[in-house]
Amino acid sequence: MATIANANTKGGVAKTTSTIMLGAAAVHRGHTVNFVDADHQGSASSWVNQVKTEQPDLPIELTVANMATLRGLGDDKLNIIDTPPGNPALIDRAIAVADFVVIPTTPSLGDIERVWETLEIIPSGTPAAVLLTQVNSQAVLAKQIREYLESEGVMVFPESIPRRELFRKIYGQWPENDARQMLGYEDVFDNIMEVLS
Ligand SMILES: Nc1ncnc2c1ncn2[C@@H]1O[C@H](COP(=O)(O)OP(=O)(O)OP(=O)(O)O)[C@@H](O)[C@H]1O
Ligand SMILES: [Mg+2]
């Protein structure tokens, strides 16, 4: 199967949330997922461990990654990598082993600068797309940022992830196969699989 990396050199842009949500979407679609935690903060690890304690039968695994294990990821499962902010070597390595890179970002001008920085380290042959997250539905800025990125030739997922209190509460839990909990991540996952097929 494939390897998807969630990467952005900026912190707090929903890399970990997107990792888990895309993994949940994959499981809902019948895949077995290997969550790969490359962030020494271990947020994805504790989230996955908490879920596995409560639902041991879910088809999910956890790999705590470093420079070496990132290179040796198997291809029998769908690997979804969570990367740390501000660790260029690990971000580089995660991107290098990925078949698709998701770049989560909030729709703020300061964060968009870091999107460029992240795009620069993605090899030209690797598909990548920006995922606008924590989007306030009233905000004009998100629409303008999307148009700007697209006009510069950057792929942006057609669906944006709304800003919702739910995401702050869902930490450590497994999102149900329900559109009200997935809030667009299933469409993002389907998009990625379409590109990879
Ligand atoms: N769509 C959303 N709506 C509201 N809050 C969100 C949303 N997505 C993520 N959050 C919240 O934003 C915060 C940062 O998210 P997250 O930890 O996933 O970011 P990160 O990029 O992994 O951060 P770090 O760089 O520290 O690893 C968390 O409190 C999370 O619950
Ligand atoms: Mg994180």
pLDDT tens-digit readout, 28-56: 999 999 999 999 999 999 999 999 999 99
pLDDT more than 90, % of the chain: 92
The answer to the question of residue 102 being in a domain is yes
* Cα separation values, 144 from 112, 135, 139, Å: 12, 12, 9
In the predicted model, what is the mean pLDDT of residues 143-147?
94
CB 86 within 8 A of CB 117: no
Q: So what's the pLDDT on residue 1? A: 87
Beta strands in 65-179 (DSSP E): 78-82, 100-105, 128-132
The answer to the question of residue 11 being in a domain is yes
CB 168 within 8 A of CB 11: no
Range of the domain at 10: 3-184
DSSP 114-138: HHHHHHHTS-TTS-EEEEE-SB-TT
The token pair that represents 118 in the structure block = 């992240």
The token pair that represents 143 in the structure block = 């629409």
CA of 16 to the centre of ligand 2 (A): 4
The answer to the question of residue 57 being in a domain is yes
CA-nearest of 2, 187, 8 to 102 is: 8
CATH number at residue 152: 3.40.50.300
pTM score: 0.97
Question: How many whole angstroms separate alpha carbon 4 and alpha carbon 20?
Answer: 12
Residue to substitute in 167, 169, 180 for testing ligand 1 pocket (most ligand atoms within 8 angstroms of CB) = 167
The answer to the question of residue 105 being in a domain is yes
The answer to the question of residue 98 being in a domain is yes
Nearest atom in ligand 1 to the alpha carbon of residue 183 is 1
Residue to substitute in 17, 47, 133, 134 for testing ligand 1 pocket (most ligand atoms within 8 angstroms of CB) = 17
Residue 138 pLDDT grade (very low, low, confident, very high; cuts 50, 70, 90):
confident
In the predicted model, what is the mean pLDDT of residues 95-99?
97
Q: So what's the pLDDT on residue 190? A: 98
pLDDT 10s digits, 60-70:
999 999 999 99
The answer to the question of residue 136 being in a domain is yes
Residue 137 pLDDT grade (very low, low, confident, very high; cuts 50, 70, 90):
confident
Residue 161 pLDDT grade (very low, low, confident, very high; cuts 50, 70, 90):
very high
Q: How many domains does the chain have?
A: 1
Surrounding residues of ion ligand 2, Cβ less than 5 A: 15-16, 43
If you ran DSSP here, which 8-state letter would residue 71 be given? H
The answer to the question of residue 195 being in a domain is no
The answer to the question of residue 197 being in a domain is no
Q: So what's the pLDDT on residue 134? A: 96
Q: Supply the mean pLDDT for the chain.
A: 95
